[in-house]
């Protein structure tokens, strides 16, 4: 059985993915810390999971998975908070799917910042109009 060298494509890709994930989490945390003026450790002590989730999505528009990982909220709880906030119209999900900055999978972006709601609800894809351009006979 061959051992993989440290510069093999499999090892390099894994290291890059880990760095990308770490960068994403640090970016989200920094945006929240700058927005609130408080370090993450203080936010964790002072705010509930729901409050941290909602607060982070005010400062950063991202995916549920990314914000949960960055704010130390279990993904299952984040999904529950997302639904709850959507029902009360405090959170909006994007119409289109985008690459998650954390997982690389297609996912909807979410935000609790009302300034983002209209942008997220507009599709960036033009829908075909069935009757447009057809000649009526």
Q: Is residue 63 part of a domain?
A: yes
Report the C-alpha gap between 108 and 86 in whole angstroms.
13
The CATH number given to whatever domain includes residue 59 is 1.10.10
Q: Is residue 21 part of a domain?
A: yes
pLDDT at 130: 47
> DSSP labels for 82-130?
HHHHHHTTS-EEEEEEEE-TTT-SEEEEEE--HHHHHHHHS-SSPPPPT
Q: Which domain holds residue 96?
A: 15-121
Q: Is residue 129 part of a domain?
A: no
Q: Is residue 4 part of a domain?
A: no
Query: Tokens 């507009």 identify what position?
Result: 122
50 CA to centre of own chain:
15
Q: How many distinct structural domains can be found in the chain? A: 1
Q: What is the pTM of this model?
A: 0.78
Q: Is residue 131 part of a domain?
A: no
Over 80: is that where the pLDDT of 27 sits? yes
Q: Is residue 99 part of a domain?
A: yes
The per-residue pLDDT for range 30-79, each reduced to its tens digit, is 999 999 999 999 999 999 999 999 999 999 999 999 999 999 999 999 99
The per-residue pLDDT for range 88-122, each reduced to its tens digit, is 999 999 999 999 999 999 999 999 999 999 999 99
pLDDT at 123: 79
């Amino acid at each position: 059985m061959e051992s993989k060298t440290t510069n093999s494509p499999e090892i390099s890709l894994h290291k890059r993915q880990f760095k990308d994930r770490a960068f994403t989490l640090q970016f989200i945390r920094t945006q929240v810390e700058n927005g609130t003026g408080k370090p993450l450790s203080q936010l964790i002590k002072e705010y509930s999971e729901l409050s941290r989730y909602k607060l982070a999505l005010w400062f950063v528009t991202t995916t549920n998975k990314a914000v949960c990982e960055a704010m130390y909220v279990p993904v299952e709880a984040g999904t529950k908070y997302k639904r709850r906030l959507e029902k009360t119209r405090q959170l909006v999900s994007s119409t289109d799917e985008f690459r998650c900055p954390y997982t690389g999978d297609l996912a909807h972006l979410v935000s609790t910042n009302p300034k983002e709601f209209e942008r997220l609800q507009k599709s960036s894809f033009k829908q075909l109009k069935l009757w447009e351009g057809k000649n009526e006979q």
